[in-house]
């Protein structure tokens, strides 16, 4: 392994790498705890889900390692091929024989008899990469509406249209939020962003009221303990809140949670944080959230230190991607946001999401390494 100043690419930020490893270990433990009974009942193998998760973790770890070694200038060459691939995969979902419906939406892509992943997860990474590449190239014209603003909204809008056709309202809103955050940090005039948000509000409202199941989720969120909601659309949220209340300060003990035993739907995917809260209590909740906050702090620190605009926007976007997804999941599971399927990074049984998140960490490590080498080489030039 090549070293510069004793710093390897993979170890350029020990805090970021160490926290990521701890989060992944957290995920392994909680996946086994949440699934061993269900896996035995369904497949007579208590390790069924754990083995799949470990395989995804291996692929994601390899992706992290590879991304930490791809130079930034080489990375930006993947921008448009990756973006085109995402558009193609999202279209392919709607071709009979390729799309697999899960939870009422076309989420999974199937090639032959194999599920190969969820294109919506890759869309987040592709969007961040595109924004970083495009904003760096258009830095001098960002104040111009038609050149600096509209192209980015058109690309984001194209992805959102394909996501809504699945339908996937949650990921669509996440893509838009992520886009707005990166555009704002890059220096797009606030009036463009605010104006677009105001114009989009009626469309968002119509999407909510025109879909009975989305509107029921909103009303159930506002009053989850209403008689009709407890056993209806708020059932999942009520069971999640029961899990947290049962956990108390120290939890019921790892593996001793009750809600995962058929009471809490999607206990190993979108609502695994409720299982953590029940078994590890408030202390476990704080530890996990603390690790996520450290990861986000390191990500934003890497972004602020990077002298290269492409690297800076890329690091900021990837950190926002992890942070926004974490915030949405935690908000849903704890009753602060309406119920929406969104995996918790590094913890949920969500194999494509895990791989993409680990690749994002690998890119952050490469950006930090690149920054350190630029500072080091600049120092050598100054003293040479």
Peptide bond into 167 cis (omega under 30): yes
In a domain, 46, yes or no: yes
Percentage with pLDDT > 90 across the chain: 66
Q: Using an 8 Å Cβ cutoff, are 308 and 370 in contact? A: yes
Task: Give the pLDDT confidence score for residue 1 in this predicted structure.
Answer: 39
Q: How far apart are the first and last CA of the chain?
A: 27
Taking phi over 0 as left and psi of -120 to 50 as alpha, with beta for the rest, 254 belongs to beta
Whether residue 4 is contained in a domain is answered as no
Q: What total number of domains does the chain contain?
A: 1
Q: What are phi and psi of 6, to 5 degrees?
A: 75, 10
What is d(CA 27, CA 357) in angstroms, rounded to the nearest whole number? 13
Dihedral angle of Cα 60, 62, 64, 65, to the nearest 10 degrees: 170
Please tell me the least confidently modeled range out of 23-37, 93-107, 125-139, 362-376: 93-107
Distance separating alpha carbons of residues 66 and 362, to the nearest angstrom? 7
b/e map 79-118, b = 16+ CB within 10 Å: beebbeebbebbeebeeeebbeeeeebbbbbeeeeeeebb
Q: Quick: pLDDT tens for 206-234.
A: 877 777 777 878 888 888 887 777 887 78
Q: How far is CA 13 from CA 65, 75, 329, in A?
A: 13, 19, 26
pLDDT for res 63: 96
Cα angle at 23 between 22 and 24, to 5 degrees?
Answer: 90
Domain assignment of residue 21, given as a range: 14-383
Tell me the H-state helices in the chain.
14-43, 48-67, 72-75, 79-92, 119-137, 150-164, 169-186, 190-209, 212-222, 227-230, 235-247, 272-305, 309-333, 351-383
Q: How far is CA 5 from the centre of its chain?
A: 33
Higher pLDDT, 189 or 114: 189
CA distances (Å), origin 198, targets 7, 148, 192, 195: 48, 19, 10, 5
Between 15-19, 85-89, 225-229, 379-383, the lowest mean confidence (pLDDT) is in 379-383
45 domain residue, yes or no: yes
Higher pLDDT among residues 67 and 170, named by residue: 67
Reported as a single tens digit per residue, the pLDDT across 335-354 is: 888 888 789 999 999 889 99
What are residue 115's DSSP bridge partners? 110
- What are the structure tokens assigned to 133, written together? 């590449």
What's the DSSP call for residue 344?
P
Q: Answer whether residue 9 is part of any domain.
A: no
């Amino acid at each position: 392994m090549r070293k510069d100043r004793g710093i390897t690419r993979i170890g350029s930020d020990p805090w970021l790498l160490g926290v990521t490893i701890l989060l992944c270990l957290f995920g392994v433990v909680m996946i086994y705890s949440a699934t061993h009974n269900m896996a035995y009942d369904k497949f007579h193998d208590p390790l069924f889900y754990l083995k799949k998760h470990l395989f995804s973790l291996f692929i994601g770890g390899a992706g992290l390692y590879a991304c930490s070694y791809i130079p930034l200038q080489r990375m930006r060459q993947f921008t448009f091929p990756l973006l085109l691939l995402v558009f193609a995969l999202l279209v392919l979902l709607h071709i009979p024989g390729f799309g697999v419906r899960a939870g009422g939406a076309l989420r999974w892509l199937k090639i032959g008899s194999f599920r190969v992943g969820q294109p919506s997860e890759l869309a987040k990474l592709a969007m961040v990469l595109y924004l970083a590449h495009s904003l760096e190239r258009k830095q001098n014209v960002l104040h111009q509406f038609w050149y600096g603003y509209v192209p980015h909204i058109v690309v984001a809008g194209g992805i959102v249209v394909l996501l809504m056709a699945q339908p996937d309202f949650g990921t669509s809103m996440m893509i838009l939020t992520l886009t707005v955050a990166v555009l704002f940090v890059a220096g797009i005039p606030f009036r463009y962003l605010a104006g677009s948000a105001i114009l989009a509000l009626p469309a968002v409202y119509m999407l909510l009221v025109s879909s009975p199941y989305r509107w029921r989720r909103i009303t159930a969120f506002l009053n989850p303990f209403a008689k009709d909601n407890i056993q209806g659309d708020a059932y999942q949220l009520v069971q999640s809140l029961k899990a947290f209340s049962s956990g108390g300060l120290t939890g019921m003990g790892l593996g001793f949670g009750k809600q995962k035993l058929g009471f809490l739907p999607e206990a190993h995917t979108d609502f695994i944080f409720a299982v953590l809260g029940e078994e590890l209590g408030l202390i476990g909740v704080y530890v996990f959230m603390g690790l996520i906050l450290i990861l986000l702090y390191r990500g934003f620190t890497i972004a602020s230190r990077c002298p290269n605009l492409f690297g800076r926007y890329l690091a900021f976007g990837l950190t926002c991607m992890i942070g926004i997804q974490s915030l949405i999941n935690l908000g849903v599971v704890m009753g602060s946001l309406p119920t929406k399927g969104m995996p918790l990074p590094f913890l949920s049984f969500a194999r494509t999401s895990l791989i993409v998140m680990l690749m994002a960490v690998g890119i952050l490590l490469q950006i930090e390494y690149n920054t350190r080498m630029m500072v080091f080489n600049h120092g050598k030039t100054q003293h040479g």
